[in-house]
Structure 1
Amino acid sequence: MIEVKHLSKHFGTQLAVKDLSFRVDNGQICALIGTSGCGKSTTLRMLNRLIEPSAGEIFIQGKNVTAIPAEQLRRRIGYAIQGVGLFPHQTIARNIATVPRLLGWTRADTDARVNELLSLFRLDPATFAGKYPHQLSGGEQQRVGVARALAARPELLLMDEPFGALDPLTRTHLQDELLRIQKLLGITIIMVTHDLEEAIKMADIIAVMDKGEILQIDSPQALLRYPRPGFVQNLVGGQDRSLHLLATQTLADIMTPVTRPSGPAMATSTSLRDAMAGLIWQGTERLTVVDENGLVVGEVTLENLLKQGARP
C-alpha cells in the first residue's frame, strides 16, 4: 500500500503540487490524469524522491520513505518512462539486469530473472537477450523498459506516459500486455497519462489533477457517472460518457449464463464498448460469450449493452 499525506512542492515561488493526499492499495493501478503542467509528473517523481517534497509525507507499506536512503528507495521502486531510456551500448539482457547487478544478485539469479521477464513479455530470450536497443522496434524497446523496471521485483511501479510515443495499435497491445502481467504479478502501479481512455482502461482508481491539486479521485465508473462540475466534468466529456462507461466493464460482468451458441462469439474479457462495436458491425442483437478455452459460458444482448451505457 502507498499512502500520500498533504504532499506539496514549491519551485521557487511557484507551487507545483498543493496538499495532495491519496491512497493506493496493494495490487491496484492508479492513474494520475490532467493537462500538461498540472503536477502529475512532479507528483510521480516525489514518490521515489527524484524530486524532494517541500512538505508532506509518503508511506510505502507503512514506512515513511524519508527514513530510507534515496538510492536504496529507488532500487525498490520500478520506474518506466516515455522514450524508454535504455542504455544503447548494452545488450537487452544487461539493460534488464541493471538493478539486480547493483543489488548484488548472483549471476545465476540475474540471468534467470532476465530470461523470466523476457518470456513474460513474449520476447524470446534466445532471440532478444543478445540484441542491442537499436535493433528493436519501438514497442519492443518499451517492453524491455518495463521489464527493466520490474527486474528487482519492486514493491511499486511508477510509469510516466510509458506508451505516449507509440502508434495506437502498438499502444493498445502493450496496454493489454501490461494488464496481463500486472494481474499475474499483483504489482501496485501508479501511472501518469493525459489520455482518458488509457486511464479508464488501465486503472482501478483515477485521480484528476489540475493546477497541482487533485479535484476528484474515484473508480472509473464513479468518475464517469458522477463527475464533479467544472474541470472534471469537462474532462470526461458529454456525449462520449456512455461509450467510456462501456469501456469500464467486460462481457463477464453482465453476461447471462447459457451453454449453447446464440450469435457471434466474443471472449469474456472483451470490453462492452468493443462488444457493442462488434454487434453493430455484424448486424446482430445477440452474441455468445466464450471463456479462454473457447467454451460457451453465456450470452449478451444489444439491449443489455445499451442499458449499461445509459447515463445516470
Structure 2
Amino acid sequence: MIEVKALGKQFGAQIAVNDLSFRVERGQFCMLVGTSGCGKSTTLRMINRLIEPSQGQILINEQDVTTLPPEQLRRRIGYVIQGVGLFPHRTIHHNIATVPRLLGWKKADIDARVTELLTLFKLDAATFANKYPHQLSGGEQQRVGVARALAARPELLLMDEPFGALDPLTREHLQDELLRVQKLLGITIIMVTHDLEEAVKMADVIAVMDQGELLQLDSPEALLRQPRAGFVQSLVGGLDRSLRLLAIKQVGQVMTPLQQQPSSSIPSIVASANLRDAMALLIWEQAELLQVLDANGIAIGQLSMSDLLQQGARA
C-alpha cells in the first residue's frame, strides 16, 4: 500500500504539486494522467525522493519514506523512465544485475534472477544476456529496463511514460507484456502517461491531474461513466466515451455461451479480445454475429451486435 497525503512541492513562485492526496492498494495498477506540466512526474520523483516534498507525508506500507536514507528507499522501489537509461557499456546481464549486486547478493542468486527475468519477458537468456543495449531494438531495451527495475523484487514500481517513444505496435505489445507480468507478480505499479487509451486499458485506478492538483481518482469505468465536470470531462471526451468503455471489457465477459455448433461462415474472435475490437470486426464483416473462440481455437460462445449496443447504451 502507498499513501500520499497533503503533498506539496513548490519551485520558486510556482507550485508543481498542491494538496495531493491519494492511496494505492497493494497489487493495484495506478495511472497518473493529465497534460504536460500538471505534476505527474514530480509526484513520482517525490515518492522515491528524487525530489523532496515541501510538506506532507508519503507512506509505503505505513512507513514514512522520509525515515529511510534515500538510497535505501530507492533499492525498495523500481523506477523506469521513457529513455530506458540502460548503461551502454554494460551487458544486458550486468544491467539487470545492478541493484542485486549493490545489495550484496551471491553470484549464483544474481545469475538465476537475471535468467528468470529475461525468461519472464520472453527474451532468451542465452541470446540476450551477453549483448549490449545498442544491439537491441527499442522494445527489447524497454523490456530490459523493466526487468532491471524488478531485479531486487521491489515493493513498488514507478514508471514515467515508459512506452512513449515506441511505435504503436511495439507499444501495444509491451503494454500486454507488462500487464501479464504485473498480474503474475502482484506488484504495485504507479505509472505516468499522457495517453488516456493506455490508462483505460491498463489501470485498476486512474488519477487525473491538472495544474498540480488531483481532480478525480476512480476506476477506468467509473471515470468514463461519471467524469467530473470541467477538465476531466473534456479529457475523457464525449462520444468517444462509449468506445472507450467497450475497450475495457473482454468478449468472454459478455458473450452468450454456445448452445449449438455455429456455422463455419460466421466470423470469429477470441474471448480475450475487447468489445471495441469485436464492434470493428462486425462492421468490417457486415455481420450480426461473431463466434467466440478460446485460446485453443475452440468455439465457446457467440456475440451479437445487439449485445454490443447494450453495452454502449450503458455508457
TM-score range, shorter chain: over 0.9
What is the alpha-carbon distance in structure 1 between the residues aligned to residue 249 and residue 93 of structure 2? Answer: 37
Matched residue SS, 2:162: coil
Matched residue SS, 1:79: strand
What is the alpha-carbon distance in structure 1 between the residues aligned to residue 171 and residue 30 of structure 2? Answer: 18
Q: Quick check: 1:251–1:270 contact (8 Å CA) kept in 2?
A: yes
What is the alpha-carbon distance in structure 2 between the residues aligned to residue 259 and residue 101 of structure 1? Answer: 57
Deviation at residue 295 of structure 1 after TM alignment:
3.1
Tell me the TM-score normalised to structure 2 length.
0.96
Tell me the TM-score normalised to structure 1 length.
0.97
Identity between Structure 1 and Structure 2 (%): 73
Deviation at residue 268 of structure 1 after TM alignment:
2.1
CA deviations on 1:246-280 (whole Å, 9 max, x unpaired) are 11111122122226443333222211111111222
What is the alpha-carbon distance in structure 1 between the residues aligned to residue 269 and residue 24 of structure 2? Answer: 32
Task: Find the counterpart in structure 2 of residue 294 from structure 1.
Answer: 297
Deviation at residue 291 of structure 1 after TM alignment:
2.5
Please say if 1:124 is aligned against 2:124.
Answer: yes
What is the alpha-carbon distance in structure 2 between the residues aligned to residue 165 and residue 177 of structure 1? Answer: 17
Q: Quick check: 1:243–1:273 contact (8 Å CA) kept in 2?
A: yes
Moved more, 119-128 or 6-15: 6-15
Alpha carbons of structure 1 residues 197 and 261: separation in structure 2 relative to 1, 3 Å: farther
Q: Quick check: 1:7–1:21 contact (8 Å CA) kept in 2?
A: yes
Q: Quick check: 1:260–1:296 contact (8 Å CA) kept in 2?
A: no
Deviation at residue 166 of structure 1 after TM alignment:
0.3
Task: Find the counterpart in structure 1 of residue 40 from structure 2.
Answer: 40
Pairs aligned (count): 312
Would you identify which runs of 4 or more consecutive aligned residues in structure 1 move more than 6 Å?
none
Task: Find the counterpart in structure 2 of residue 108 from structure 1.
Answer: 108
Counterpart among 306, 309, 312 of residue 309 in structure 2: 306
Task: Find the counterpart in structure 2 of residue 170 from structure 1.
Answer: 170
Task: Find the counterpart in structure 2 of residue 254 from structure 1.
Answer: 254
Matched residue SS, 1:19: strand
Task: Find the counterpart in structure 1 of residue 214 from structure 2.
Answer: 214
Deviation at residue 293 of structure 1 after TM alignment:
2.9
CA deviations on 1:183-204 (whole Å, 9 max, x unpaired) are 1111110000000100000101
Alpha carbons of structure 1 residues 260 and 177: separation in structure 2 relative to 1, 3 Å: farther
CA deviations on 1:198-252 (whole Å, 9 max, x unpaired) are 0000101101100000111111111111111110010011121111111111112
Deviation at residue 311 of structure 1 after TM alignment:
5.2
Name the aligned partner's letter for residue 207 of structure 2.
A
| Coordinate RMSD, CA, aligned | 1.2
Task: Find the counterpart in structure 2 of residue 191 from structure 1.
Answer: 191
Matched residue SS, 2:244: helix
What is the alpha-carbon distance in structure 2 between the residues aligned to residue 306 and residue 45 of structure 1? Answer: 43
Gaps of 5+ in 2: none
Task: Find the counterpart in structure 2 of residue 97 from structure 1.
Answer: 97
Matched residue SS, 1:7: strand
Task: Find the counterpart in structure 1 of residue 55 from structure 2.
Answer: 55
What is the alpha-carbon distance in structure 1 between the residues aligned to residue 150 and residue 142 of structure 2? Answer: 13
Q: Quick check: 1:27–1:189 contact (8 Å CA) kept in 2?
A: yes
Q: Quick check: 1:261–1:288 contact (8 Å CA) kept in 2?
A: no
What is the alpha-carbon distance in structure 2 between the residues aligned to residue 234 and residue 272 of structure 1? Answer: 23
CA deviations on 1:167-190 (whole Å, 9 max, x unpaired) are 111100100110111111111100
Name the aligned partner's letter for residue 177 of structure 1.
E
What is the alpha-carbon distance in structure 1 between the residues aligned to residue 16 and residue 173 of structure 2? Answer: 33
